[in-house]
Amino acid sequence: MRLFTRIVVYLSLAFCLCVNLSARSLMLEDLKTPYSTGFQTLILQDKSRTYKFKSLTQTSNRPIRLFIWYPTKQTNKANFLKYEEYVYSSSLIKDAEKLAHDEKEVLKSNFVKAVAYFEIKNEQAEYIFNSQTKAIKDAPAIKNKFPLLVFGNVGDGYYFSTMAEFLAANGFVVVSLPSIAINEGERCGFDLACLKLQQADMEFAIQTLQSYPSVDANKIGLLAWSFSGLAVAHLQMKNPNVRAVVSMDAATGYQYGKEILDQSKEIDFNKTKVPFLHLHGLDNARVPKNFDFFKSFQSAEKYFVTFKSLQHSDFLPLYGDVIRLAKNDEDKNAIEGTRWVNLLTLKFLNAYLKNNPKALRFLKSATNNKDESTSNIFSFASSF
């Protein structure tokens, strides 16, 4: 039995287990991880740029809020965070423990408004707030050096929390940061100006974290969903320490993304030699896809994975993991699909940021595999 088929059989058994929010959304508890997950946030200021808060009369330095997950020691007595603490940590002015009750309520209200598109009810939102994560706040970091993973700017920093926890427990330092406009109350549009703003924020995050004792700054992976993939594309071409890129149905696979990139003077496909994993799902007639970016990407190590039951929003962990579960969604193909998104991403990052030969063999085998056990979930290709 080939390696890929053996792994499929093993993981298929895992998919049949009953799960709760902390089990399913964070890390497939039936699969062993070498570490637990520590968590901390940082409010920083980029003194090279300005920002205007509505509540302040004067302009300030640009705020940068980093959500950081990292490997910590395994423990059976961990004091795991509740999900609501992620929401409270999204303030650009104060740390969560310094917030007054009314300030917390505003952040809760902002969360409910942000997910209103997905028809979340009040009791479902409360379920999310009170659910236990797999992150341990301010836990001691492992002293080894780990590759750094940076998520592209989307919404608030906790939007990627479930995947971030999973990756940190498997030996990565993971950072995400919100998408912030030029000033409070303004919108970061779908345009080149917003792209450059997000790129600068990610560059600031990398500059900050590259000196952390547990970070190997020579091994950086970039992950992106939706519009943030355009900033990631620019950053990858600019930073030689970026060794792998994951597109979670990012805008580099859409026509509108191509049109924005066509306006840029910084796109140079001669600098796209790093491994590239592009994940995408069902077509949406209102937002046409375009795969010219993938076709033009020069890496010999690129993978194109089509998920047959996932929509664009499923690739964002906030929806694909947390909201689907809170709504008691029983779409088994979608649940398995989001799990495979996590697992294929981990295999890819292990292969190219950790030089793991087993993970690389898995990817190579999966690319050519015709196994029927996953044919209703995804198809795998290296070119088309």
| pLDDT the model gives residue 78 | 74
Q: How many CA atoms lie within 13 A of 6 on its CB side?
A: 7
Ramachandran bin of 155, using left for φ above 0, alpha for ψ from -120 to 50, beta for the remaining angles = left
- Element holding 194 (H helix, E strand): helix 192-209
* Per-residue b or e along 313-343, where b marks 16 or more CB atoms closer than 10 Å to that residue's CB: bbbbbbbbbbbbbbeeeeeeebbbbbbbbbb
Q: Find out whether 212 and 173 touch, Cβ atoms under 8 Å.
A: yes
pTM: 0.91
What backbone phi and psi angles, to 5 degrees, belong to 71? -70, 135
Please, where are the H alpha helices in 3-55? 3-15, 21-24
What backbone phi and psi angles, to 5 degrees, belong to 361? -60, -40
| pLDDT the model gives residue 28 | 47
Q: Per-residue pLDDT tens, the chain, 384 aa: give them.
A: 444 444 443 333 333 333 344 434 334 444 689 999 999 999 999 999 999 999 888 899 999 999 999 999 987 777 899 999 999 999 999 999 999 999 999 999 999 998 888 888 889 999 999 999 999 999 999 989 999 999 999 999 999 999 999 999 999 999 999 999 999 999 899 999 999 999 999 999 999 999 999 999 999 999 999 999 999 999 999 999 999 999 999 999 999 999 999 999 999 999 999 999 999 998 887 899 999 999 999 999 999 999 999 999 999 999 998 998 898 887 888 888 999 999 999 999 999 999 999 999 988 887 776 556 677 788 888 766
Q: Find out whether 171 and 71 touch, Cβ atoms under 8 Å.
A: yes
| pLDDT the model gives residue 39 | 97
Interstrand relation of 378-381 and 242-250 (parallel, antiparallel or unpaired): unpaired
Residue 188 token pair = 């970061």
